[in-house]
Amino acid sequence: MNKVTKLFGIDYPIIQGGMVWVSGAKLAAAVSKSGGLGIIGAGSMAPELLSRHITKAQTLTSKPIGVNIPLLYEKAQEQVDTALSLGIKIFFTSAGSPKKFTNYLKGHGATVVHVVSTPEQAIACENAGVDAVVAEGFEAGGHNGRDEITTMSLIPQVRKCIKIPLIAAGGISSGQSIAAALSLGADAVQMGTRFLMTRESSAHQNFKQLLLRSTSTSTMTYMKATVPVRLFRNKFSSEISQIEESFHGEALKTQLHEHLGKYRARLGMLEGDLDNGELEVGQTISMIKNIPSVEELFVELLHDYKEAYNLLPRSL
Amino acid sequence: MNKVTKLFGIDYPIIQGGMVWVSGAKLAAAVSKSGGLGIIGAGSMAPELLSRHITKAQTLTSKPIGVNIPLLYEKAQEQVDTALSLGIKIFFTSAGSPKKFTNYLKGHGATVVHVVSTPEQAIACENAGVDAVVAEGFEAGGHNGRDEITTMSLIPQVRKCIKIPLIAAGGISSGQSIAAALSLGADAVQMGTRFLMTRESSAHQNFKQLLLRSTSTSTMTYMKATVPVRLFRNKFSSEISQIEESFHGEALKTQLHEHLGKYRARLGMLEGDLDNGELEVGQTISMIKNIPSVEELFVELLHDYKEAYNLLPRSL
């Protein structure tokens, strides 16, 4: 038992990252059932839908389930209250100030984890009374820190400057990379892309099949000048690139905003339009060559961790 | 003894990366003396100067010394022949095709290591008969891969696709990060920035002192459209940014070329002009808060590795 497994009441220091359109009740419940922490990604859900997912997850497992709430959405307060009213006790907040909801959530007896991409943000979280931090490196899928700090650089730095539990994210998809993250000082890992590639995730079948053919250069970070986001390279991302080459300053922002429109992520990830959709995925995707059940994945991760540990020399 | 220590005849799987203006005879000899592999960075040296550094290093230690030769320099052949004639048996080549010199060097009985930034390049190295590969992640200082693949993503991928020894580089500066790199499947590590911050490196005193005050956001990758390079943020790098914002396409290339001029790296790193010089340094710089001797650094690295290993759970 370590600091993170104790904090959440789980068996393994493995957390499934909340992902828009991908991590609903089915995935979260499967992860919690397997001994990790499953998280419902509320980012893409109206409060009613979130409520349905939470209720469904609770019928699937009695183990702890968390909810991830991106604070920039206007409905964040409603989402928080919905989850609280349904008995959710673990909140992962992201994309906003850790001060915004921490007191409120803790006042309701919840555990609060905030996602950061710099050591300075981690310190702000500790000061705001957050219970643990997810430090997410540049290699992670989806929205990303502006400073491009990689997991290898970020985790030891965050470890040095906070005392609360530290969860590493970004580029982690195997027992070997879990061992690496723990070596760097993390107490646990959060994986998104690896869990997207399981049978229980809601990612569209076409999307999962496409991802099986990924190479090391299949993802890139786009919109660095506005809201950096790591995407799978496709027609949509090429169009983003072209806009980024053709426009600059305010005109760039306007063009990007227009082109993005709404529901591009839903179109790609949930509905499987691999050309016109926005496909958020981490750089580690090229390491992933199967679509196991969550239960099978846990067996693989635990086995590979042990193998990595056994291969390490005791001293250099 | 592992594959890499055996290949080079060294005690520890720790290699000092060749750095322009920073890694001459003094640093390389100190590293080899301490049981690692010291490398003279020939990139910034005319053949006569390289010859002087090699000869000096050989008077300082009888342990093996390597030479790093960036293949894009016009004098690469001359540098290779100079080093061979002085009995150098270990060559690290970079910035060019591994086919260019591998047969020639191996014909002269040398061991050849090539630096790569993608798994595909690593396969090309193995096919070209290279003896080992340095896989360098996006967090590394100086010149950088176009695809922004981080160490955490890169090392396990390269491990999967080659059989020859694998040396990890980028973001590694401590015993903890060495443990992480080995967990990911590397046989050894190469560190640049960490060795820049030792008493024996030729980096200017002002530069070293400036680096002691680094934060997590002190470096950034510039010139992504032309020749990506990770630099310490200073007046010079701001000017580069401004040019990148103001010009595009061919005009950008011309402007950058003019602004870079010659000897900007020498000006900053060797001569200590911290405003107008080009300061190549890795993202891990913010982790480095001392300037030890190389001998002291080895004690610290071996100690911290052991500590990291001892903290790892046997199983998850």
pLDDT in tens, B250-292: 899 899 888 887 689 999 999 999 999 999 999 999 999 999 9
**Predicted confidence (pLDDT) at residue B95 exceeds the cutoff of 90:** no
Q: Can you list the domains of chain A with their CATH numbers?
A: 3-203+289-311 (3.20.20.70), 205-283 (no CATH)
pLDDT of residue B186: 98
Q: Is B248 on the interface with A (CB under 8 A)?
A: yes
CB B203 within 8 A of CB B269: yes
The percentage of chain B sitting over the pLDDT mark of 70, rounded to a whole number, equals: 99
Instruction: Average the pLDDT over B133-139 and give the result.
Output: 98
Nearest partner of A168 among A149, A195, A186, A150, judged by Cα: A186
Contacts of B203 (CB under 8 A, 6+ apart): B21, B22, B196, B197, B269, B270
In terms of CA atoms, which chain B residue is nearest residue A247?
B248
Which two three-digit tokens encode residue B29? 């000899």
For position B202, what pLDDT does the model report?
A: 96
Per-residue pLDDT for A72 more than 90? no
Chain B residues with CB under 8 Å of A309 CB are: 183, 312-315
With bands split at pLDDT 50, 70 and 90, how would you rate the model's confidence at A50? very high
Q: What is the C-alpha separation between B243 and B253, in angstroms, rounded?
A: 10
What is the reported pLDDT for A290?
Answer: 97
HEC profile for chain A?
A: CCHHHHHHCCCCCEEECCCCCCCCHHHHHHHHHCCCEEEEEHHHCCHHHHHHHHHHHHHHCCCCEEEEEECCCCCHHHHHHHHHHCCCCEEEEECCCCCCCHHHHHHCCCEEEEEECCHHHHHHHHHCCCCEEEEECCCCCEECCCCCCCHHHHHHHHHHHCCCCEEEECCCCCHHHHHHHHHCCCCEEEECHHHHCCCCCCCCHHHHHHHHCCCCCCEEEECCCCCCEEEECCHHHHHHHHHHHHCCHHHHHHHHHHHHCCCHHHHHHHCCCCCCCCCECCHHHHHCCCCCCHHHHHHHHHHHHHHHHHHCCCCC
**ipTM for this model:** 0.95
pLDDT at B57 over 80: yes
Listed in sequence order, the residues at least 6 apart from A29 whose beta carbon sits closer than 8 Å to its beta carbon are: A38, A56, A57, A60, A61, A65
The pLDDT of residue A239 is above 80: yes
Residue whose entry in the numeric block shows the structure tokens 């959530």? A105
**What is the secondary structure of B243-311 as a DSSP string?**
HHHH--HHHHHHHHHHHH-SSHHIIIIIT--TTTS--B--GGGGG------HHHHHHHHHHHHHHHHHH
Nearest CB among A119, A183, A245 relative to B179 is that of A183
**Confidence class for position A248, pLDDT limits 50, 70, 90:** confident
Q: How far apart are the first and last CA of chain B?
A: 28
Residue among B153, B297, B302 with most chain A CBs within 10 A, to mutate: B153
pLDDT at res. A245: 86
- Taking contacts as CB-CB distances below 8 angstroms, the residues of chain A near B284 are 152-153
Q: How confident is the prediction for chain A on average, in pLDDT? A: 96
pLDDT band at A225 (very low <50, low <70, confident <90, very high): confident
Lowest mean pLDDT among A112-126, A244-258, B75-89, B112-126: A244-258
B51-89 CB burial, b ≥16 within 10 A, e <16: bebbeebbebbebebbbbbbbebeebeebbebbbebebb
Q: Which residue of A has its CA nearest to B219?
A: A147
pLDDT-derived band at A6, boundaries 50, 70, 90: very high
Give the C-alpha separation, A282 to B79, whole Å: 41
Structure tokens at B166: 């694998």
pLDDT of A259 reads 86
B226 pLDDT band, cuts 50/70/90, is: confident
Listed range (A126-140, B28-42, B76-90, B239-253) with the worst mean pLDDT:
B239-253
Query: Nearest CA of chain B to the CA of A147: how many Å?
Result: 6
User: What does the alpha-carbon distance between residue A282 and residue A138 come to, in Å, rounded to a whole number?
Assistant: 9
Residue B125, pLDDT score: 98
Chain A CB within 8 Å of residue B303 CB: no
Residue A267 confidence (pLDDT) above 80: yes
Instruction: Check pLDDT > 80 for residue B300.
Output: yes
Which pLDDT score is estimated for B228?
Answer: 94
- Rounded CA separation A54/A87 (Å): 9
Q: Do A306 and B283 touch (CB under 8 A)?
A: no
Do residue B153 and residue A179 have CB atoms under 8 angstroms apart? no
Question: What mean pLDDT comes out for the span A198-220?
Answer: 97
Question: Looking at the complex, does the CB of residue A120 fall below 8 Å from at least one CB of chain B?
Answer: yes
Residues of chain B positioned with their CB less than 8 A from the CB of A245: 248
pLDDT value of residue A119: 96
Residue A312 confidence (pLDDT): 98
pLDDT value at position A73? 84
Percent share of chain B, pLDDT over 90: 89
Under a CB-based contact definition with an 8 Å cutoff, are residues A173 and A141 in contact? no
What's the average model confidence in pLDDT over A225-238?
94
Q: Do B156 and A176 touch (CB under 8 A)?
A: yes
Q: Can you give the pLDDT at residue B44? A: 81
B296 φ/ψ angles, rounded to the nearest 5 degrees: -60, -40
The type of residue at B277 is G
Average pLDDT over residues B234-254: 91
- Which residues of chain B from 135 to 174 reach within 8 Å of chain A, CB to CB? 137-139, 147-154, 156-157, 160, 170-172, 174
pLDDT score at B161: 95
Q: Give the model's confidence band at B225: pLDDT under 50 very low, under 70 low, under 90 confident, else very high.
A: confident
pLDDT for residue A263: 87
Name the A residues in 172-231 with CB < 8 Å from any B CB: 172, 174-185, 215-217, 220-221
Nearest CA in chain B to A180: B180
- What does the pLDDT average to over A271-283? 96
A273 confidence band (pLDDT: 50, 70, 90): very high
Which tokens go with A271? 């509905």
pLDDT of residue A79: 96
pLDDT digit string, tens, across residues B177-197 = 999 999 999 999 999 999 999
Which chain B residues are within 8 Å of A138, Cβ to Cβ?
Answer: 138, 148, 150
B307 touches chain A (CB under 8 A): no
From B148, B156, B286, residue closest to A174, measured CB to CB: B156
* Residue A268 near residue A21, CB atoms below 8 Å: no
Give how far B8 is from chain A: nearest CA, Å. Answer: 15
CA distances from A101 to A8, A49, A54 (A): 19, 21, 20
CA distance A93 to A69: 5
Tokens, residue B205: 């005193």
Residues of chain A with Cβ-Cβ distance to B157 below 8 Å are 216, 286-287
- Taking phi over 0 as left and psi of -120 to 50 as alpha, with beta for the rest, A2 belongs to beta
Partner residue facing B182 (CB), from A172, A174, A312: A312
Average pLDDT of the residues in B24-48: 96
CA distances from A304 to A35, A215, B185 (A): 17, 22, 12
pLDDT band at A134 (very low <50, low <70, confident <90, very high): very high
| Cα gap A274→A268, rounded to integer Å | 5
Contacts of B119 in chain A (CB under 8 A): 215-216, 286
Q: What is the rounded average pLDDT for all residues in chain B?
A: 96
How far is it, in rounded angstroms, from Cα B228 to Cα A76? 39
Region A230-257: mean pLDDT is: 92
Contact assignment for A118 to B302 by CB distance below 8 Å: no
Residues contacting A102, CB < 8 A, separation 6+: A93, A112, A114, A128, A129, A130
**Is residue A203 within 8 Å of residue A270, measured between CB atoms?**
yes
pLDDT of residue A229: 95
State residue B72's pLDDT score: 86
Closest CA to A227 of A69, A16, A72: A72
Q: State mean pLDDT over A254-258.
A: 88
Return the structure tokens found at A45.
């859900």
Q: Do B312 and A309 touch (CB under 8 A)?
A: yes
Which of B160, B179, B184 is the closest to A177 by Cβ? B184
